[in-house]
């Protein structure tokens, strides 16, 4: 069911940044609530999934006017990417690097008529790529949060969606933080601004919806293990919770018994048996840039609890040397330079 377009704006001060928030009303279906037996979440940076139309905002190599990209190539990619999404069994798919809402509409058809009737996407006018969500379950509320840095430049928006999954309310934040292009230290301030904003948003949701399961997902372009040298603890984008130390940025933990506060990060959980050390091959090593973080409700033995996590590394998704099979526009080969990450939840009765 398509989002109905009406918006309201509000400005909120948040330390060194300002957040512009756009709230979009959505049509809600009436459905009987029931306890789900399972729910599967996917997050995937699909590496520049542009549609086949020229609108002037595309990256050069994905502009049909330049001859290397066209509708046929686009639909080939849709078929290829949707096959991975479908085979994963995902119920909620959170995507980064799509051109916009049209891509979600087209993916709906490739995923199967009626299988993902709910969707929403950002529409940042200053960015060629957007974030989006496809859901089998009703999206009941959408808010777009836009971090503004101290120089007045805008970061990629954070998409907040409320999803009614049976008896469970999920509140998902879909992110694509600033890349490291231009230097790790030089771009860290932008990622830190997004991190601070997400922390404030999660705190607000916990106050207003204390029983909702909160998920923070996406390509954060940051791992807990690779903060720039010289930064004091707590001043980089993502940190492991440190007892007795307060921080303005998003805190994570691998401890499944942790109470409210830091979000659970499966990359930090030594008990998680993952076949790969990361989801993105960068600078000759694996990086843990792609995240699905969850709050303490993942382990509260009520509603939906964590049952497992996966890094999708199906043979089609990786090269012979095991690295992500990135898409090459000129040859039409490949999938994405990021591997999808999966979180599986099970219903607790």
Go through 117-150 and write b for each residue having 16 or more CB atoms within 10 A of its CB, e for each that does not: bbbbbbebeebbbbbbbbbbbbbbbbbbbbbbbe
Domain boundaries, the chain: 7-348
CA diameter of the chain? 58
The DSSP string of 62-102 is G-GGGSS--HHHHHHHHHHHHHHHHHHT-SEEEEEEE--HH
The pTM of the full predicted model, rounded to 2 decimals, is: 0.91
> 7-348: which CATH architecture?
4-Layer Sandwich (3.60)
**Per-residue tens of pLDDT for the chain, all 349 residues:** 444 333 332 323 333 344 556 655 444 444 446 789 999 999 999 999 999 888 878 888 998 888 789 999 999 999 999 999 999 999 999 999 999 999 999 999 999 989 999 999 999 998 999 999 999 999 999 999 988 765 556 689 999 999 999 999 999 999 999 999 888 888 888 999 999 999 999 999 999 999 999 999 999 999 887 777 777 767 789 888 766 566 788 999 999 987 678 999 999 998 888 877 899 998 889 999 999 999 999 999 999 999 999 999 888 999 999 999 999 998 999 999 999 999 999 998 7
């Amino acid at each position: 069911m398509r989002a109905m377009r009406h918006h309201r704006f509000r400005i909120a001060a948040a330390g060194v940044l300002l957040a512009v928030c756009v709230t979009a009303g959505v049509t809600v279906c009436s459905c009987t609530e029931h306890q789900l037996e399972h729910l599967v979440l996917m997050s995937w940076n699909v590496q520049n999934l542009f549609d086949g139309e020229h609108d002037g905002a595309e990256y050069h190599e994905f502009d049909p006017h330049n001859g290397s990209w066209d509708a046929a190539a686009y639909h080939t990619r849709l078929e290829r990417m949707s096959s991975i999404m479908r085979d994963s069994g995902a119920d909620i798919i959170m995507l980064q690097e799509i051109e916009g809402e049209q891509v979600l509409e087209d993916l709906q058809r490739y995923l199967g008529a009626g299988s993902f009737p709910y969707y929403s996407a950002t529409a940042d006018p200053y960015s060629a790529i957007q974030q989006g969500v496809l859901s089998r379950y009703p999206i009941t509320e959408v808010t777009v949060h836009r971090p503004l840095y101290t120089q007045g430049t805008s970061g990629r928006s954070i998409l907040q969606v409320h999803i009614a999954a049976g008896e469970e309310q999920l509140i998902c934040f879909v992110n694509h933080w600033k890349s490291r292009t231009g230097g790790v230290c030089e771009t860290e301030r932008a990622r830190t601004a997004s991190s601070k904003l997400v922390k404030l948003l999660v705190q607000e949701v916990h106050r207003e919806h204390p029983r909702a399961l909160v998920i923070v997902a996406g390509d954060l372009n940051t791992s807990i293990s690779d903060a720039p040298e010289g930064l004091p603890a707590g001043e980089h984008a993502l940190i492991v919770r440190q007892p007795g130390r307060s921080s303005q940025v998003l805190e994570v933990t691998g401890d499944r018994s942790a109470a409210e506060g830091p979000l659970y990060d499966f990359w930090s959980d030594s008990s998680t048996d993952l076949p790969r050390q990361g989801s993105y091959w960068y600078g000759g090593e694996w990086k843990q840039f792609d995240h699905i973080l969850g709050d303490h409700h993942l382990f509260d033995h009520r509603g939906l609890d964590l049952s497992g996590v996966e890094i999708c590394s199906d043979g089609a998704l990786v090269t012979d040397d095991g690295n992500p099979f990135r898409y090459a526009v000129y040859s039409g080969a490949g999938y994405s330079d990021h591997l999808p990450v999966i979180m599986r939840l099970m219903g607790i009765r």
